[in-house]
Structure 1
């Protein structure tokens, strides 16, 4: 898996690479100190995950994230030394998968990276499929659509997905959507349950609430209240 780290401080780049590489030794790292270097890397390599420092010289990390989400399929995690609510909200609106603050704490970093733990063991077609799911989970994704995007037979793709991921395509997609919904419920208290259901790709609020309760034991509204009171 190719991962890109963007920070104008070389020591921060080295530390972040060191912390991630301890847990994911097979990942390949590409490092940039500003947006222009990052763009050059993207012209030569397929990047699945990028860590972007918000305070970059020239084009900011948020501006770079906006550009990347428009033109590339990758997951983005923002990094900043400032615990600024506005930064966090802007990051969420851009569709980044997470937001962490400096100094980076190893346990918190690994918690953010849990969703990628199995990726190093996947074949390239399945990695490509997972990347599409992580980017387009809010759309009406189907197995046939994914198979066509990665240019393999749908029946073979279905079998291969289950063999490598340990669950079927639909189950994985719903699981990923539910995790994103849980995050949105906590981080976006201003959003209605219906809006979150729609943004996470569920066909109806009723179905979303039904499957959410089945998996978590709570309704979306009760889950939000429980987590808010912690």
Structure 2
């Protein structure tokens, strides 16, 4: 039900309208009154009516001026003029001010009720359109955020999937993008206290990253952050016509802010004039090489990048992934430690693939321990392992009932939304019970359990990859509106709380 404001200096007219409305329609749940235009504006600002009946001839601020101000305060409010003159001039004035209609006094019952029914229908339609737009925008923001995180995980490796970068730019709605690379090199030794823990340095670098991000967002620039040891690498994307995103003055200000707010000395350099994606790839590779070969890539980034390249499946993608792994291993101080970490990463990778594709069969070539291989054969063994995983994923994608594949695609693309079995089944063209039976026959699990695994996997990834997000934000990004419920589900699925998982991941 909606709120109606009646503004008329004649009490009998207000009483007559209230009598007609209360007797004849259930669309109006609350009626508020004003005796002149000024009072109408004051009351509307407080009560926020959905519909306003305004008498044109009122003392002080008349109905025309009141309508103008009401539209400024409440653009969605439906304005109806009350007038004693049935003339074209008043009708024209009503339309010019964005009014829905006008009523000639004395008003007729049937005319008032028909008009309110019409206005209520318009309000419902507009509300539905707004909700639909809000859901679309929310889904779009979720897609942008997910793609940004994905690209960020790749960035520190020195190469990007330019197709996904192009999709990201399209999602941003930038038709003629410009790209620059910002590199902030900080001296962790300049911090007043000793930085002897990875977690402490991570916090300091995150604060520096936030300074860069805030400055970029202030200028309307989108940024994708990455890490190169004690450097922050940031891809800047925008459509501005300025010569550079960060002027020399802004660069100096940012370096000063790093010193004053984070207590670190830092040097910010900008790679300008990037012509295209090929040029971008060359500049990124140069940035990684300039870091002295220390990629600073985390175990999480290694696993995520391997997963992405397995799913893309091209031989060139696998070769890139193998090269990245060995650059990362060379950056670690001890060879035995590097091999142990790589075996752990591959074990987690196999586990994630098995959860994502429940009926995936992993051949023996995908289960080899690289610690048991020689230096000469290790690269070839890793490449063959990735091929086995890729082929297994391809076979998995080729089997299954079309409705089950459709349901999986819906959940993977929209797990951040409030999905139900009924919604998924309806879009797949099956009844909930039939689709649930097909799903369990194909994958040995229920639709909701599969959806939960997708959401928890996303939460695990965000907990380790984005320290700027708190638990509530991660819960929402993973499709949970209630952080407490999210924490209970997370503990049930992983055995630990989200906070414990984040701390164990960072310390490990």
Q: C-alpha distance in 1, partners of 2:172/2:437?
A: 30
Contact map agreement 2:305 2:321 (CA 8 A) in 1: no
Q: What is the distance in 1 between the residues matched to 2:236 and 2:497?
A: 24
> Where does residue 64 of structure 1 map in the other structure?
167
Where does 1:1-230 land on structure 2 (aligned, <5 Å)? 54=160, 56=162, 61-67=164-170, 98-100=304-306, 103-105=320-322, 111=349, 114=353, 115-116=356-357, 117=360, 118-230=396-508
Q: Distance in 1 between matches of 2:451 and 2:236?
A: 25
- Cα pair 1:213 1:220 within 8 Å, conserved: yes
Q: Deviations over 1:189-230 (max 9, x none)?
A: 110000010111113111111111122121101110000011
Contact 2:416/2:479 (8 A) holds in 1: yes
Mapped contact 2:227–2:233 kept (Cα < 8 A): no
TM-score scaled by length of structure 1: 0.57
The aligned counterpart of 1:31 is none
Q: Does the CA-based 8 Å contact 2:491-2:498 persist in structure 1?
A: yes
CA contact (8 A) 2:436 2:447 kept: yes
| Alpha-carbon distance, 1:150 to partner | 1.4
Distance change in 2, residues 1:69/1:159 (3 Å): farther
Shift of 1:67: 3.3
| 1:64 partner SS | helix
Q: CA offsets per residue over residues 22-46 of structure 1, 9 Å max, x none?
A: xxxxxxxxxxxxxxxxxxxxxxxxx
In structure 2, distance between residues paired with 1:189 and 1:205: 17
Task: For 1:88 and 1:171, locate their aligned partners in 2 and report how far apart those are by CA, in whole Å.
Answer: 37
Number of aligned residues: 158
**Relative to 1, partners in 2 of residues 1:130 and 1:69: Cα closer, same or farther, differing over 3 Å?**
farther
User: Residue 103 of structure 1: SS of its match in structure 2?
Assistant: helix
Task: Work out which of the two has the higher radius of gyration on C-alpha atoms and give 1 or 2.
Answer: 2
> Could you say if the C-alpha distance between residues 55 and 184 of structure 1 is closer, same or farther in structure 2, counting changes exceeding 3 Å?
closer
* Alpha-carbon offset, residue 99 of structure 1: 3.8
Instruction: Indicate how the Cα distance of structure 1 residues 146 and 128 shifts in structure 2: closer, same or farther if over 3 A, else same.
Output: same
Per-residue Cα deviation, 1:46-79 (whole angstroms, up to 9, x for no partner): xxxxxx97365xxx64123443799xxxxxxxxx
C-alpha distance in structure 1 between counterparts of 2:415 and 2:499, whole Å: 22
* TM-fit CA distance, 1:86: 5.1
Distance 1:88-1:99 versus aligned 2 partners, 3 A rule: farther
CA deviation vs aligned residue, 1:100-143 (integer Å, no higher than 9, x gap): 58622399799388124444432111111101100100000011
Q: Which moved more, 1:111-120 or 1:217-226?
A: 111-120
Q: Secondary structure at the match of 1:146?
A: helix
User: Taking structure 2 as the reference length, what is the TM-score of the superposition?
Assistant: 0.28
**Distance (whole Å) between structure 2 residues aligned to residue 133 and residue 63 of structure 1:** 23
Moved over 6 A (4+): 82-85, 87-90, 106-110
Describe the shift of the 1:86–1:159 C-alpha distance in structure 2 as closer, same or farther (beyond 3 A). Answer: farther
Distance of 1:89 and 1:138 partners within structure 2? 26
